[in-house]
Amino acid sequence: MAAMALRHAVLAALEEGEASGYELAKRFDVAVANFWHALPQQLYAELTGLERDGLVRGRRVRQAKRPDKRVYRLTHAGTDELHRFIHAPTRPTAIRDELLVKVHAADGPELGAAIAALEERAGYAAAKLERYEALVASILNGRDEAAYLRESPRVGPYLTLARGRAFESENVSWCRWAIGALRAREDEGHTKEDHRWRAP
């Protein structure tokens, strides 16, 4: 059977309460996208499949002044499936990143382009990190982290947010370090004799 990848992320998200496809997309954006990215089309398709398989049930909600929506909640079978998944073996993950392909390859004449790519990524990661920090702060809302971890009714989302934050933080540090290393070599390429002349 294997993966059913997105499926369990959707079930996990619905555990926090019923949602329409549209609402689910937003929920993914703030809480799930850190560790499982999905496009709205995928979510709509997945919800249809989950309902077909009896893991969620949808009901139509009429709205004044807004289009009707279809709101889904977990069935018992859905909760069971989620629990089964949590107990099943976990596949390890690895980074899969175009940027690293570039850095791996861009050692020679394309060094400048690699540095540019690293700089762009450093900026992107720093911006994402800032958003994560803000989210963490708004969840803690002045409380001490240790106290929150002890007392909050649910900590799962906080823990996963922390993982996303650590990832982006690591991205920023690594990019900056790599930029430094490559820039030093770029300079060296232009002034090689000078350096050799000063060395013992």
Partner DNA sequence: TGTAGCATGTAAGTGGTTACATGATTTA
Partner DNA sequence: TAAATCATGTAACCACTTACATGCTACA
For binding to DNA (CB under 7 A), which residues are involved?
A: 2-7, 20-23, 26, 37-42, 44-45, 47-48, 63, 65-70, 96
CB of 24 to its own copies, least distance (A): 14
Nearest to 158 by CA among 173, 172, 144, 174: 144
List C-alpha distances in Å: 66 to 2, 34, 59, 74.
39, 30, 16, 24
Supply the angle between the helices 156-190 and 111-140 in degrees, to the nearest 10: 150
Contact string (CB under 8 A) for its own copies, positions 166-195, x = contact: xx--x--xx--xx--xx-xx--x-------
Query: Are 51 and 72 in contact, with CB atoms under 8 Å apart?
Result: yes
Report d(CA 8, CA 82) in Å as an integer.
Answer: 6
Contact string (CB under 8 A) for its own copies, positions 76-105, x = contact: ------xx-xxx-xxxxxxxxxxxxxxxxx
Tokens of 183: 């820039």
**Which residues contact its own copies by CB under 8 A?**
5, 8-9, 11-12, 15, 31-37, 82-83, 85-87, 89-110, 113-114, 117, 120-121, 124-125, 149-150, 154-157, 159-160, 162-164, 166-167, 170, 173-174, 177-178, 181-182, 184-185, 188
